[in-house]
Amino acid sequence: MEAGLEQLAEAEGTTATWLKKHHLMYTAATRHPLILSIRDGSIDLDSFKRWLGQDYLFVRAFVPFVSSVLLKACRESDNNSDMEVLLSGLASLNGEIKWFKKEASKWGVVLSSIAPQKVNQDYCRFLESLMGPDVEYTVAITALWAIEVVYQQSFAHCLEEGSRTPPELAETCQRWGNEGFGQYCQSLQKITDRRLLRATNEELKKAEVALLRVLEHEVEFWNMSQG
């Protein structure tokens, strides 16, 4: 019986097992009141603008983090397609930064005058803590997958049948809720699961903690944006 359960866990992947184990935290991050307010159309536009300005700063700090994961993949990965997946993610951040600038000007948000809030600084510091050469590729890619999947799941929820997302927010939701981004997240999840299958117990522990830290930071980030 126990062996059967283990096989099941292995078949579905460690990440899926962890998301079930931590479903309350995962739901808190992917079904946050701010996301639900986008979905039902009741969103306070000041919250959206605050999110937009802070997320622009976050994404700028996210670029060196993704680069560090790419570097680890080139050095440590047992599969050379990892590099291609990570490179595509890094490349799409180029368009993302341009999009933030365009979107900010549309909403009258002046990006040059925005200072990162403490919650944002804490999250960026957490990213920095994962960038050093002492952090294993397996741990870093677990965090990267978690960061991306929270946005993918959150914004895809705002595009589902029956959602009443305001048309002026549709582009934002599309950015992370589109199918291509969903596939990128699945590729990251596959890499993560493959790595976790070969990880030591110590690495597994560190990776699970990294996942939980990401979920906590994501909840705090939504809270901050709501004001």
Helix pair 201-226, 118-129: axis angle to 10 deg: 160
Taking the complex as a whole, the smallest distance from the CB of residue 112 to ligand HMH amounts, in Å, to 19
Distance CA 191, CA 124 (A): 23
Q: Is residue 58 a contact residue for ligand HMH (CB under 6 A)?
A: yes
**Window contacting ligand HMH (CB under 6 A); options: 19-27, 79-87, 143-151, 159-167:** 143-151
How far the first Cα of the chain sits from its last, in Å, is 49
Distance CA 65, CA 95 (A): 17
How many binding residues for ligand HMH (CB under 6 A)? Answer: 9
Taking the complex as a whole, the smallest distance from the CB of residue 157 to ligand HMH amounts, in Å, to 15
Closer residue to ligand HMH (CB): 203 or 223: 223
> Letter for the amino acid at 97?
I
Q: Is residue 51 a contact residue for ligand HMH (CB under 6 A)?
A: no
Distance CA 96, CA 75 (A): 27
Taking the complex as a whole, the smallest distance from the CB of residue 103 to ligand HMH amounts, in Å, to 12
With CB under 6 A as the contact rule, the residue among 9, 28, 36, 59 that binds ligand HMH is: 59
Taking the complex as a whole, the smallest distance from the CB of residue 176 to ligand HMH amounts, in Å, to 6
Q: Measuring CA to CA, how many Å separate 209 from each of 151, 200, 202, 214?
A: 19, 14, 11, 9
Q: Is residue 145 a contact residue for ligand HMH (CB under 6 A)?
A: no
Check if 218 is active-site: yes
Distance CA 25, CA 15 (A): 14
Distance CA 183, CA 173 (A): 16
With CB under 6 A as the contact rule, the residue among 100, 137, 155, 221 that binds ligand HMH is: 221
| Interface ranges with ligand HMH (CB under 6 A) | 55, 58-59, 147-148, 150-151, 218, 221
Q: Which residues are catalytic?
A: 218
